[in-house]
């Protein structure tokens, strides 16, 4: 573990110098969509950590996406994944040699699930190799790097998608439908609470060089992105305040807790919280002059539960990562357009907001936004 951490730190240092889902028969257990016709998206996962493992497991239930390759700096993990998922040796790479995927016709896309600061260089390498890129969120550590990733993928003629799994979640999509159809009336207010108590103080998420920040770069982005898709607007200003109770664990540049507020063109406002020091914070609340909608939990792995002024939401519990990957296959091969975008441009907007939140924390001023 230590050797891998040292390797990632060195690599980071170098980097820094839909229509609705169909109705389901089951409402109690995880379900996936019915089989679809079409090409299978053959995916290599870059970064075989905890979330990479979750994605790999979910993909075993996919209908249009298949795990076919791995990229890792840990040989033992590569061997274990080879055995578990029947991955051929020719589809296994490390962080030094994975540019060679350009010569591998059996890989269509690479899903980058490494520490935040590594996404920029790795996605650009994927693009230069002529493969579609999927980046876990946040797409990068700032908007400048995010835009460079978008530009590189456009230049290479490949798609750049981001792991916004909630954009395909049934209860979330039902609230978006209600808002679009006017059932909630004029939207007035959104609240997003995103947080948990983080553990191991030596993990990469608490290393600014690898994470690009603290809670905001991990859990806070859910409330940022959620504020946008729940209200249907992009904010035009932000204010923010940082609170730090443990400067030893949360070193300079690693935020522990940030409260932030948005203003929207319609006059709606948002109040959100991102933290690494409190549990039981996974809630969205949307208020309109004709009704309301609430999700709690709102962004966890499920089941997502919610209610509106009309009653309980009864959408099925899906395997988020499996639905995401099948939908991404349709986006890449069929040009299907999701209800809420999952492309690089969408991610750059979130990164611009994060940049503005950090600026507001530093200056204490209201920061204007133009997304």
Q: Is residue 301 flagged as an active site residue?
A: no
Domains, the chain, ordered by start: 2-165 (3.40.50.720), 170-314+342-368 (3.30.360.10)
Tell me what pLDDT residue 38 has: 79
Tell me what pLDDT residue 1 has: 43
Two tokens, residue 297? 């939990």
Distance CA 73, CA 96 (A): 8
Residue 129, helix vs strand vs coil: coil
Rg of the chain over Cα atoms, rounded to whole angstroms, equals 20
Exposure of 44 by Cβ count < 10 A (0-12 exposed, 13-18 middle, 19+ buried)? Answer: buried
Tell me what pLDDT residue 37 has: 58
Q: Is residue 164 flagged as an active site residue?
A: no
Contacts of 93 (CB under 8 A, 6+ apart): 44, 69, 70, 71, 100, 101
Residue 272, helix vs strand vs coil: strand
DSSP code of residue 77? H
Q: Which of 95, 111, 164, 222 is labelled catalytic?
A: 222
Residues in the chain: 371
Two tokens, residue 193? 């609470």
- What are the Cα distances from residue 77, in Å, to 45, 71, 81, 93? 12, 10, 6, 11
Tell me what pLDDT residue 100 has: 98
Buried b (16+ CB within 10 A) or exposed e, 269-305: bbbbbbbbbeeebbbbbbbbeebbbbbbbbbeebbbb
- What are the Cα distances from residue 345, in Å, to 143, 151, 251, 265? 10, 10, 31, 20
Q: Which of 93, 111, 137, 159 is labelled catalytic?
A: 137
Q: What is the pLDDT along the chain (371 residues), one digit of tens a residue?
A: 444 444 444 444 443 333 333 322 233 344 444 444 579 999 999 999 999 999 999 999 999 999 999 999 999 999 999 999 999 999 999 999 999 999 999 999 999 999 999 999 999 999 999 999 999 999 999 999 999 999 999 999 999 999 999 999 999 999 999 999 999 999 999 999 999 999 999 999 999 999 999 999 999 999 999 999 999 999 999 999 999 999 999 999 999 999 999 999 999 999 999 999 999 999 999 999 999 999 999 999 989 999 999 999 999 999 999 999 999 999 999 999 999 999 999 999 999 999 999 999 999 999 999 99
CB 237, CB 144: distance < 8 Å = no
Largest CA distance in the chain: 59
- What are the Cα distances from residue 279, in Å, to 168, 193, 226, 243, 297? 25, 10, 19, 16, 12
CB 206, CB 250: distance < 8 Å = yes
For residue 65, what is the enclosing H or E element?
strand 65-71
Distance CA 141, CA 130 (A): 24
């Amino acid at each position: 573990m230590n050797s891998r951490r040292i390797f990632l730190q060195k690599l980071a240092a170098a980097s820094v110098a839909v229509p609705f889902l169909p109705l389901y028969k089951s409402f109690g257990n995880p379900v996936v969509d019915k089989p679809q016709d079409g090409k299978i998206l053959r995916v290599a996962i870059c970064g075989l950590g905890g979330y990479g493992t979750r994605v790999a497991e979910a993909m075993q239930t996919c209908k249009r996406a298949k795990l076919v390759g791995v990229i890792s700096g840990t040989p033992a993990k590569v061997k274990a994944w080879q055995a578990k998922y029947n991955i051929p040796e020719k589809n296994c790479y490390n962080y030094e040699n994975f540019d060679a995927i350009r010569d591998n016709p059996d890989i269509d896309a690479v899903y980058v699930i490494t520490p935040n600061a590594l996404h920029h260089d790795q996605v650009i390498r994927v693009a230069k190799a002529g493969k579609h890129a999927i980046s876990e969120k946040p797409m990068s550590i700032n908007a400048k790097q995010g835009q460079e990733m978008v530009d590189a993928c456009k230049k290479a003629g490949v798609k750049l998608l981001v792991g916004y799994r909630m954009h395909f979640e049934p209860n979330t999509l039902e609230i978006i439908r209600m808002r679009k159809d006017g059932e909630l009336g004029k939207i007035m207010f959104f609240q997003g609470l995103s947080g948990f108590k983080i553990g191991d103080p030596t993990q990469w998420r608490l290393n600014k060089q690898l994470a690009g920040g603290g809670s905001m770069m991990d859990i806070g982005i859910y409330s940022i992105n959620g504020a946008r898709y729940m209200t249907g607007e992009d904010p035009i200003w932000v204010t923010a305040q940082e609170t730090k109770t443990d400067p030893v664990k949360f070193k300079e540049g690693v935020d522990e807790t940030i409260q932030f507020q948005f203003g929207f063109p319609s006059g709606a406002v948002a109040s959100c919280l991102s933290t690494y020091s409190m549990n039981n914070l996974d809630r969205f609340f949307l208020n309109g002059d004709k009704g309301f909608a609430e999700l709690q939990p709102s962004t966890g792995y499920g089941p997502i539960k919610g209610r509106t002024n009309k009653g309980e939401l009864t959408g099925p519990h899906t395997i988020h990562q499996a639905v995401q990957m099948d939908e991404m296959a349709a986006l890449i091969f069929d040009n299907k357009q999701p209800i809420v975008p999952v492309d690089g441009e969408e991610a750059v907007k979130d990164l611009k907001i994060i940049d503005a939140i950090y600026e507001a924390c530093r200056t204490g001023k209201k920061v204007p936004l133009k997304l």
